[in-house]
Chain A
Amino acid sequence: MPIMTDLHTELKASIIEQLNLEDMEVSDIENDEPLFGDGLGLDSIDALELIVLLEKDYGIKLTDPKKGREIFESINKMADFIEANRTK
């Protein structure tokens, strides 16, 4: 069971703000919930927003957008990827 960190909370807050997820609170997003499809229901435009978010907030430039599918699977996956690759 992954540990809930400040990064998890920070990511949820950023996603809510950046993707205009109105009426949604940090506590509404589960760490292992799929962000796309049947989970949170994000779409391809959101994926582009998340790529920009990674670069802007954590200094991670995603050179292969195809990797996004795996990285953006859930908050847990995103947090793991950011911890391993962040430059800021």
Chain B
Amino acid sequence: MYINGMASIAAQTEEDLFAGDLKSFQQNIFPATIVNYKEYIKPMMLRRMSKAIKMGLVAAKQALNEAGVEVPDSIIVGTGEGCKQDTEKFLENILDENESFLTPTAFIQSTHNTVGGQIALDLKCTGYNMTYTQNSVSFESALIDAKLQFAEDPDTRCILVGGVDELAKTSTPFYNLDGQLKAGEINTTQILQSESGGTITSEGAAFFLLSEIRTQDSFAEISDCMIYREISEEKLQEEISWFLKKNDLKPEDLDAVILGNNGDKRFDHYYHQLQDTIFKNTLQLGYKNWVGDYNTVTAYACWLGAEILKRNEIPQQLKLNNLDVKQPKSILIYNQYLGKNHSLTLLRSL
């Protein structure tokens, strides 16, 4: 699948990423950057939208704009937790009003498929519209569906695929309760050296306009994507080698790997063992210490990898080792969360 347009909204801006001016945070939960949503969404529509919808719709429109496409044939969205802000609003209404006088807006917009629906309404796209919710492989599930759609339907020329998740004031801090987030004083730049469990979290949206046939606007290719619900550390290396082999590559052929290290000592060993073995001589990049970890952060990783291929430029602050690459051609993204939902996504330049 070829990428013809893409956009991302996260805790760091694209400008800061490539200018080497990424910012650190002192808390374990931090928001995405402020975007002037009014530039893209009419005020009467904007007033009801939670952050996930706003981020998703704007990233979708920017991706379409870059690709020069007004309406895609299909819309496929991955979201781990959907519209949490409206879910909270609706639940608060139930409590505040003693289960009566419930207004419809928050309920309507609390479902996971709201972002996909709102994008379709805005674009007046009546094509296939699907939302995947599968924890930290929600975005990858959407990617695989896009691949299947292209394979099964010859009339599908372009598909809008994205990942989006938002913070919410009550439910996001629940992650403190089961140790998913780091406790105590945090400086996000230090987390990858952390000796404790837990990570940091944030929010974001990244969307891609994909086509099966290369067009004049294509600038990178998503060659393959695999999901493993569970896999042992021993089997992981073997699976990665097999995954690369079926794409005519060996580990040493990769120009860079984008790894999901998030500072959680309990599970970062999945990355460390790859860093010390098959990817020892490959440029290693980490990003979660800058944009946080959330269910669809791999959509950001995919955007990051494609942006590196497009610019031929490596954001220096993301480097986990001292290797360098002048003209990256193949990039592998590997991710897991809490030792589950492992995913491999292969990007190639054109």
CA distance in complex: A62, B46 (Å): 28
Question: Is A22 engaged at the interface, CB distance under 8 Å to the other chain?
Answer: yes
CA distance in complex: A52, B47 (Å): 19
Residue in chain A with minimal CB distance to B46: A22
Q: Do B104 and A19 have beta carbons less than 8 Å apart?
A: no
Q: Do B103 and A52 have beta carbons less than 8 Å apart?
A: yes
Question: Is A84 engaged at the interface, CB distance under 8 Å to the other chain?
Answer: no
Q: Do B43 and A23 have beta carbons less than 8 Å apart?
A: yes
Residue pairs across A and B with CB atoms within 8 Å: the count is 27
Interface size class of A (residues with CB under 8 A): 10 to 19
Q: Do B103 and A49 have beta carbons less than 8 Å apart?
A: yes
CA distance in complex: A56, B98 (Å): 12
Across the interface, B105 reaches (CB within 8 A) one of A49, A55, A56, namely A49
Q: Report chain A residues within 8 Å CB of B104.
A: 45, 48-49, 52
Question: Is A21 engaged at the interface, CB distance under 8 Å to the other chain?
Answer: yes
Question: Is B102 engaged at the interface, CB distance under 8 Å to the other chain?
Answer: yes
Q: Report chain B residues within 8 Å CB of A56.
A: 97, 101
Question: Is A63 engaged at the interface, CB distance under 8 Å to the other chain?
Answer: no
Q: Report chain A residues within 8 Å CB of B102.
A: 52
In the complex with contacts A20-B48, A56-B97, A45-B105 CB distance below 8 A: yes
CA distance in complex: A52, B90 (Å): 14
Residue in chain A with minimal CB distance to B104: A48
Question: Is B108 engaged at the interface, CB distance under 8 Å to the other chain?
Answer: yes
Q: Do B47 and A19 have beta carbons less than 8 Å apart?
A: yes
Question: Is A18 engaged at the interface, CB distance under 8 Å to the other chain?
Answer: yes
Question: Is B44 engaged at the interface, CB distance under 8 Å to the other chain?
Answer: yes
Q: Report chain B residues within 8 Å CB of A18.
A: 103
Across the interface, A41 reaches (CB within 8 A) one of B44, B97, B103, namely B44
Q: Report chain B residues within 8 Å CB of A41.
A: 44
Q: How far is the CB of B101 from chain A (nearest CB, A)?
A: 4
Q: Report chain A residues within 8 Å CB of B44.
A: 41, 43
Q: Do A52 and B43 have beta carbons less than 8 Å apart?
A: no
CA distance in complex: A65, B342 (Å): 51
Of residues 41 through 64 on chain B, the ones whose CB sits less than 8 Å from some CB of chain A are 43-44, 46-48
Q: Do B47 and A45 have beta carbons less than 8 Å apart?
A: no
Q: Report chain A residues within 8 Å CB of B47.
A: 19-22
B interface footprint on A16-32 (CB within 8 Å = 1, 0 otherwise): 00111111000000000
Residue in chain A with minimal CB distance to B47: A20
Q: Report chain A residues within 8 Å CB of B43.
A: 22-23
B interface footprint on A46-66 (CB within 8 Å = 1, 0 otherwise): 001100100110000000000
Q: How far is the CB of A68 from chain B (nearest CB, A)?
A: 13
Which B residues contact A (CB, under 8 angstroms)?
Answer: 43-44, 46-48, 97, 101-105, 108
Which A residues contact B (CB, under 8 angstroms)?
Answer: 18-23, 41, 43, 45, 48-49, 52, 55-56
The 4 lowest CB-CB distance pairs between A and B, nearest first, are: A20-B47, A56-B101, A48-B104, A52-B103
